[in-house]
Structure 1
Amino acid sequence: MELGVSQYLYREYNELEEGDLTKLRASIVCEPALVKFAESLDFSKYVLLGKGEEMTGGRDRPALLADVFEAFIGALYLDQGYEKVIFFLNKYVYPQITTGAFSHTMDYKSQLQETVQQHKNKLVEYAIIDEKGPAHDREFFSVVTINGKTAGKGIGRTKKEAEQRAAKQALDALPN
């Protein structure tokens, strides 16, 4: 999927700078976007789950929906080939890019890294400091430091989400 999206963006948005294209691609192939695609196609109703997972709301779990969408793209590629994947993306994914559904999406970790890199000798590091809850309903606690000083904290259902939220908090706290 990433290859197809990259080619599409390069072809259709060649006026954008490389960094902006990278951010846009990242926002399209990230978990929240994959969840939106899966939901728009009602993929959750085709997933077979065990009783326990069904009872704990697994059918609507974002990580599961994103994985299902990625698995579908992979299966389509293996069974039908790259051209069919591109046909599918043209029909269900690219129109959402064209309508601006991703213009607001921001990769806060990349934005923080770029902002901090403007000042030499600044080191950005992320750490997961805690995890709580059962495996199917885990909550991660992240901290981002800049040169060893805590700059932001975040909580999320995935490590990436927690880190993104920590990065956003750090960005919000930086002076303009």
Structure 2
Amino acid sequence: MKTSERIAEVERICGHKFANRDLITSAITHPSAVEGKPVSASYERLEFLGDSILGAIIATEVFERFPQMDEGELTRLKISLVSGEMLSKVAGDLGIGPLIIVGESEKGTGARGMHSALENVYEAIVGALYLDAGYDETHRFVMETVFPHISPKLAERPISPKSRLQEVTQRDLRCAPEYKLVAEEGPAHDPTFTSVVLVDGRRIGRGKGSSKKGSETAAALDALERLQAGKHGTTDDGAVEDSQDFDEQ
């Protein structure tokens, strides 16, 4: 399928014709297809923006729609709606999978690679739509695609390590955790990401995964275990340089 045909189909799915075609081209391009080119050629930067925009839209909507829910329930509901599982399903149902531009190295990764790519491309499309059409059109798209899946029961699911850590730090330390990507290794088709989680500028956990979100989840789980054991794993000045304790993991 030609790139122009892919773009036309994505525009149909979004209900918006892009004035800046470079944005939507990047949004559907996997890093493996543009190795050696500027980072803006793939979906990575747009994914970062889309993740934030999507989170803000969904947080606002669940806050307004469910006034009876407490902070913990709202957190679990939001986390469920922006999870990789949910976004991959949404993107797959929209028919985005065949439209993703991938390199030869990625074509052999199978379901695992496609699951991650679907999630990332959905967020990148949200970011591209926000830049090209503005908030209202982006809000409409998110509401049409993600919110049909909303259910109060999602707030009852077992809480993820990231949302559990957020509950703990907000309750005990009155601040939210912050995740920082500190390393990316391996080829584009099989990368390993390393992230640390910080609270008030101090590192409390570290983790690795095959995706950025996976490494953040591992870092959150590590932080929870350390907090429970009373070992915070931070440096005196709150720096994120690796300590011997963290290098062993």
1:73 paired with 2:162, answer no
User: 1:116-155 to 2 correspondence within 5 Å?
Assistant: 134-138=187-191
CA distance in 1, matches of 2:172, 2:142: 40
| Identity across the alignment (%) | 37
Matched ranges for 1:49-88 at <5 A: 49-57=102-110, 60-88=113-141
The equivalent of 1:18 in structure 2 is 71
Q: How far apart in 2 are the matches of 1:92 and 1:138?
A: 29
Q: Is the 8 A contact 2:191 2:210 kept in 1?
A: yes
Determine which structure has the larger strand proportion and give its number.
Answer: 1
TM-aligned CA distance change 1:66 to 1:39, over 3 Å = same
Once the two structures are superposed, residues 75-129 of structure 1 have per-residue CA deviations (whole angstroms, 9 ceiling, x without a partner) of 2223333222222222221110137456425222342565699899xxxxx9x9x
**CA–CA distance in structure 1, aligned partners of residues 129 and 171 of structure 2:** 43
What's the TM-score once normalised by structure 2's chain length? 0.49
Q: Structure 2 unaligned runs (5+)?
A: 1-53, 174-178, 198-205, 229-249
Looking at structure 1, the residues matched to 172 and 60 of structure 2 have their Cα atoms a distance apart, in angstroms, of 33
After superposing the two structures, state which structure 1 stretch, 156-165 or 62-71, moved more.
156-165
Question: Aligned pair in 2 of structure 1 residues 133, 103: CA closer, same or farther (>3 Å)?
Answer: farther
Residue equivalent to 2:99: 46
Distance 1:2 1:159, change over 3 A: closer
**Does the 8 A contact of 2:76 with 2:155 survive in 1?**
no
Moved more, 25-34 or 51-60: 51-60
3-state SS of paired residue (1:15):
coil
Matching residue of 2:82: 29
Tell me, in whole angstroms, the C-alpha distance in 1 between the residues paired with 2:217 and 2:134.
Answer: 34
Size of the aligned set, in residue pairs, is 169
Q: 1:5: how far off?
A: 0.8
Query: What stretches of structure 1 of length at least 5 have no aligned partner?
Result: 121-125, 145-152
Q: TM-score, normalised by structure 1?
A: 0.64
Measured in 1, the distance between the counterparts of 2:146 and 2:71 equals: 21
CA distance in 2, matches of 1:107, 1:47: 29
- RMSD of aligned C-alpha atoms? 4.2
Distance 1:133 1:110 in 2: 29
Q: Report if aligned partners of 1:47, 1:59 keep a CA contact under 8 Å in 2.
A: no
Task: Provide the C-alpha distance between the structure 2 equivalents of 1:59 and 1:119, rounded to a whole number of angstroms.
Answer: 36
